[in-house]
């Protein structure tokens, strides 16, 4: 354990907090291909806000470094891959970042070294897709010259309570002995403890079903919201009443985006189809959740029509573009679906989000956000799409008194203030 030197490949929402944590006990190097990101981190600034600037600077002072230079990770012997695993426009798993990271590992891995993957994948991806790449580039033999493990990430972006060391970690290894070693390394820094899975595939499957389960449960309450809205029944009141039973699961309706829940079920579905099984519940849940942005936009348009507000050319203010509250992450946000659907009605949409980087939103979605909360009362509707803390102090009553429709996607505003909600 004393001779462990760790390299974390990929310094995003998952990799940086993990690398910082490992640096408290081991010599640790963070590697990323984005020079701008590395420069910012070495200056003590994490724009994902997952690691405080003070904590990052302290780690750097004690020897933690971030780099784009392969030479600086060649003397490591415990490599951890934490790159994104997205889907393409057809919702098929895109392993490109994972394959490129495996090529990087292949260039530096040596006899006796271990590579652990944390990126969310379908069962079998580590040993069937990634390891062959490492073998090809390194010309080393798997489970003879080098070894592997899988320890699925459980980072919850923006959550300052359930930080990486406080979340129990699933671990696994390519042999029983390596599994024990991988588990020991993680267990030395994870205060919540670890769970050693019997195989890599079990660990991979455990991760991918965590978010699939949440996706399906949210899809169920989203469908309830659609049904109860037709019946003019308050969905949140129904869930509150049902929640008085001890074993009722507390899920709420909403937009399901982000880089985990909105993506991971497609990885499991893809692998199931390769085995000749068409997953019905998993894909049905995905379809329903993916429809919610369009549903919200259409509900707002209906409310405008009922109120006599002209739709074509109307101005709508959308509060929030990130995929979740109090977090700058805009990846796979479903708030953008509301925007696009409203634009189909020739509605002019202003997007205000104090957490989102305007340049990043422009690059990712091609839209320009406003950087200050507008003071005028010229909106036909305001949609609370994301529950940022900042939005809780906004005075929406003035807008409502001026005839503006208030739609609450998150179900957190006072009932008398809203004209509609999920």
Query: Residue 191 has what pLDDT?
Result: 96
Task: Please name the helix (run of DSSP H) or strand (run of DSSP E) that holds residue 360, with its range, or none.
Answer: helix 358-365
Cβ contacts of 414 within 8 Å, gap of 6 or more: none
Which candidate in 66, 76, 130, 260 is catalytic?
Answer: 260
pLDDT in tens, the chain (422 residues): 668 999 999 999 999 999 999 999 999 999 999 999 999 999 999 999 999 999 999 999 999 999 999 999 999 999 999 999 999 888 899 999 999 999 999 999 999 999 999 999 999 999 999 999 999 999 999 999 999 999 999 888 877 888 899 999 999 999 999 999 999 999 999 999 999 999 999 999 999 999 999 999 999 999 999 999 999 999 999 999 999 999 999 999 999 988 788 889 999 999 999 999 999 999 999 999 999 999 999 999 999 999 999 999 999 999 999 999 999 999 999 999 999 999 999 999 999 999 999 999 999 999 999 999 987 778 999 999 999 999 998 889 989 988 899 999 998 898 889 999 98
Query: Residue 1 has what pLDDT?
Result: 62
Query: Residue 370 has what pLDDT?
Result: 95
Query: Residue 234 has what pLDDT?
Result: 93
Q: 30, 65 in Cβ contact below 8 A?
A: yes
Beta bridge partners of 170: 195
Cα distance between residue 114 and residue 143, in whole Å = 10
Contacts 24+ apart (CB under 8 A), 397-403: 402/377, 403/307, 403/309
Cβ contacts of 164 within 8 Å, gap of 6 or more: 17, 18, 21, 154, 155, 190
10: left (phi over 0), alpha (psi -120 to 50) or beta: left
Catalytic residue check, 130: no
Instruction: Measure Cα distances from 7 to 132, 139, 229 in Å.
Output: 20, 20, 51
């Amino acid at each position: 354990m004393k001779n462990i030197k760790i390299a974390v490949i990929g310094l995003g929402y998952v990799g940086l907090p993990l690398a910082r944590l490992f640096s408290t006990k081991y010599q640790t190097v963070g590697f990323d291909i984005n020079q701008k990101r590395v420069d910012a981190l070495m200056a003590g600034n994490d724009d994902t806000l997952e690691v405080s600037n003070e904590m990052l600077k302290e780690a750097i002072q004690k020897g933690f470094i971030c780099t784009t230079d392969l030479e600086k990770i060649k003397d490591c012997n415990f490599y951890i891959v934490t790159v994104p695993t997205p889907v393409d426009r057809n919702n098929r798993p895109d392993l490109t970042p994972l394959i490129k990271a495996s090529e990087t590992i292949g260039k530096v891995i040596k006899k006796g070294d271990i590579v652990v993957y944390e990126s969310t994948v379908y069962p079998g991806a580590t040993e069937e897709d990634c390891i062959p790449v490492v073998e090809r580039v390194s010309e080393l033999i798997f489970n003879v010259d080098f070894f592997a493990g899988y320890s699925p990430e459980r980072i919850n972006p923006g959550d300052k309570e359930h930080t990486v060391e406080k979340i129990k970690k699933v671990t696994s290894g390519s042999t029983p002995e390596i599994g024990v070693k991988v588990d020991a390394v993680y267990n030395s820094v994870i205060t919540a403890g670890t769970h050693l899975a019997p195989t890599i595939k079990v660990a991979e499957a455990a991760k991918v079903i965590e978010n699939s389960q949440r996706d399906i449960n949210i899809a169920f309450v989203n469908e309830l919201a659609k049904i109860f809205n037709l019946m003019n029944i308050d969905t949140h009141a129904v869930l509150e009443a049902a929640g008085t039973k001890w074993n009722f699961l507390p899920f709420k309706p909403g937009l399901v985006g982000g880089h985990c829940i909105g993506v991971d079920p497609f990885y499991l579905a893809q692998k199931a189809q390769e085995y000749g099984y068409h997953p019905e519940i998993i894909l049905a849940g995905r379809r329903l959740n993916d429809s919610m942005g369009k549903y919200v936009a259409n509900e707002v348009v209906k409310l405008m029509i009922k109120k006599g507000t002209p739709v074509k050319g109307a101005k709508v203010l959308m509060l929030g573009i990130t995929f979740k509250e109090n977090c700058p992450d805009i990846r796979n946000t479903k708030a953008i679906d509301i925007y696009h659907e409203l634009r189909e009605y020739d509605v002019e949409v202003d997007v205000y989000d104090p957490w989102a980087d305007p340049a990043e939103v422009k690059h990712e979605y091609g839209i320009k956000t406003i950087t200050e909360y507008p003071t005028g009362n010229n909106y036909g509707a305001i949609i609370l799409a994301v529950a940022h803390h900042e939005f809780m102090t906004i005075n929406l009553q003035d807008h409502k008194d001026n005839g503006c429709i208030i739609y609450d996607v998150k179900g957190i505003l006072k009932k008398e203030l809203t004209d509609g909600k999920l």
